[in-house]
Amino acid sequence: MQASESTPFIQEVVTRDDFRHAMAGLAAAVNVITSDGPGGRAGFTATAVCSVTDDPPTLLVCLNRSASVHAAFSANATLCVNTLAHGQHELSNLFGGKTDMTERFAAAQWHTWVTGAPVLEGAAASFDCRVSKTVSVGTHDILFCEVVALERQGAAAGLVYFDRQYHGVTARPV
Amino acid sequence: MQASESTPFIQEVVTRDDFRHAMAGLAAAVNVITSDGPGGRAGFTATAVCSVTDDPPTLLVCLNRSASVHAAFSANATLCVNTLAHGQHELSNLFGGKTDMTERFAAAQWHTWVTGAPVLEGAAASFDCRVSKTVSVGTHDILFCEVVALERQGAAAGLVYFDRQYHGVTARPV
């Protein structure tokens, strides 16, 4: 069932499209997840990222097992979550599309910290991580990631994806 | 280490406070998670919610095992994710604080669908779910939740928590 945009809908037989439509109502930060190592350099865009626990500091990332980058991330077992700032949505489109890896990484400046995963210059926040546990649910792997280095740009406005559009959210005045 | 708000900081020995400070840079939707059943009626506020897979339609919720509501959610094994709309942040504060359950639920209107979990009137989206799998990582349980009914209000503006403040994000014009 496709509902009109102006009225709510309640669906008791949940199809993929219904789920995706409703999930578009759950705003999320936009992240470029990167990795480098024996599996090669790779990166993809993800909104399915959240905090798990601060003891030890751990977040999670959901990754489709059929994604082209899945093999690289499995082999490397390390990654960097680069949370995009307002104004970086072109990187989201690039890392969420079919562009080859060389071209994706050529569009921005990167450095490395502990794991060797590319850390994005100008991100709102970056989390360099080791994958501590992987759980498979349906089509996806959930990568539990222990944070070994991080950076936060306190003044950066955030980039949010909501209702299939990008939005900026301002940081507290400094 | 506490950084000033105006400069980035890079931290290679990650403390809990560093992790929380950096995670405040990852914007997130605000959700009230509710449940009812043999464990009793309970609800709490969570930003650690994300989509996992659309086959079968599944999301996840992170819950501290030391939270007062943990026993009720474990016993019920069902829950509803109510994604708050702009203007509902008082409910977030109420369900994220120490107020008793009766008073929390008295502050809004609720109905039920399939599982019996309270569904919030006026939420941006609601997802009635059965918990299909639970994984423990550090202090938290990750509840994988298969969606059995849902609702989306297409015109509702979203509520986002970013930089320890609430923000509204507008929906596409209808």
> What would the pLDDT profile of A75-126 be if each residue is shown by its tens digit?
999 999 999 999 999 999 999 999 999 999 999 999 999 999 999 999 999 9
Contact B31, B47 (CB under 8 A): yes
Q: Which residue has the tokens 């059965």?
A: B130
A4 or B27, which is more confident: B27
pLDDT over threshold 60, residue A6: no
| Residue from the list A26, A52, A135 with its beta carbon closest to the beta carbon of B83 | A26
- pLDDT confidence of residue B173: 59
Buried/exposed code over B65-86 (b: 16+ C-beta within 10 A; e: otherwise): eebebbebbbebbbbbbbbbbb
Tokens representing B103?
């008073």
Buried/exposed code over B110-123 (b: 16+ C-beta within 10 A; e: otherwise): beebebbbbbbebb
Task: Report helix, strand or coil for B171.
Answer: coil
In one letter, which amino acid is A101? M
pLDDT over threshold 50, residue A4: no
B130 or A7, which is more confident: B130
Task: Measure the CA–CA gap between A18 and A107, rounded to whole angstroms.
Answer: 35
Chain A residues in contact with B142 (beta carbon < 8 A): 52, 60, 135, 142
Q: For residues B6-10, give the mean pLDDT.
A: 57
The answer to whether the Cα torsion of A82, A87, A89, A90 is positive or negative is negative
Q: Mean pLDDT for chain A?
A: 93
Q: For residues B34-51, give the mean pLDDT.
A: 98
A121 C-beta neighbours (distance < 10 Å), count: 11
Residue B137 and residue A52: Cβ atoms within 8 Å?
yes
Task: Measure the CA–CA gap between A41 and A43, rounded to whole angstroms.
Answer: 7
Task: Report helix, strand or coil for A68.
Answer: coil
Q: Mean pLDDT for chain B?
A: 93
Residue B152 and residue A8: Cβ atoms within 8 Å?
yes
Residue A22 and residue B149: Cβ atoms within 8 Å?
no
- pLDDT confidence of residue B84: 98
Which residue from A minimizes the CA distance to B20? A54
pLDDT over threshold 90, residue B10: no
Residue A50 and residue B52: Cβ atoms within 8 Å?
no
The model's pLDDT over B76-125, given as tens digits with 9 standing for 90+, comes to 999 999 999 999 999 999 999 999 999 999 999 999 999 999 999 999 99
pLDDT over threshold 90, residue B154: no
Which residue from A minimizes the CA distance to B119? A10
- pLDDT confidence of residue A79: 98
Q: For residues B158-171, give the mean pLDDT.
A: 94
**Interface test with chain A among B162, B165, B170, by most A beta carbons within 10 Å:** B162
Tokens representing A65?
């097992």
- pLDDT confidence of residue A171: 79
Q: Which residue has the tokens 């950076």?
A: A151
Buried/exposed code over B129-158 (b: 16+ C-beta within 10 A; e: otherwise): bbbeeebebbbbbbbbbbbbbbbbbbbbbb
Q: Which residue has the tokens 């997130």?
A: B28
C-alpha closest to that of A82 among A22, A153, A144, A14: A153
Q: Where do the H-state alpha helices sit in chain A?
A: 16-23, 70-76, 89-95, 101-106
Q: Residue A135 pairs with which residues in a beta bridge?
A: A142
Chain A residues in contact with B140 (beta carbon < 8 A): 52-53
Residue A25 and residue B52: Cβ atoms within 8 Å?
no
By percentage, how much of chain A surpasses pLDDT 70?
92
d(CA A65, nearest CA chain B) in Å: 11
- pLDDT confidence of residue B174: 46
Range scoring the smallest mean pLDDT among A12-16, A26-30, A100-104, A140-144: A12-16
pLDDT over threshold 60, residue A15: yes
pLDDT over threshold 60, residue A167: yes
The answer to whether the Cα torsion of A76, A78, A84, A85 is positive or negative is negative
Give one word for B163, left, alpha or beta, with left for phi > 0 and alpha for psi -120 to 50.
Answer: left
Q: For residues A57-74, give the mean pLDDT.
A: 98
In one letter, which amino acid is A151? E
Q: Confidence band (pLDDT; 50, 70, 90) for A19? A: very high
Q: Residue B84 pairs with which residues in a beta bridge?
A: none
Write the CB contacts of B99 (distance below 8 Å, at least 6 apart in sequence): none
Residue ranges of domains in chain A, CATH in brackets: 16-162 (2.30.110.10)
**Interface test with chain B among A163, A167, A172, by most B beta carbons within 10 Å:** A163
**Interface test with chain A among B21, B30, B52, B166, by most A beta carbons within 10 Å:** B52
d(CA B101, nearest CA chain A) in Å: 25
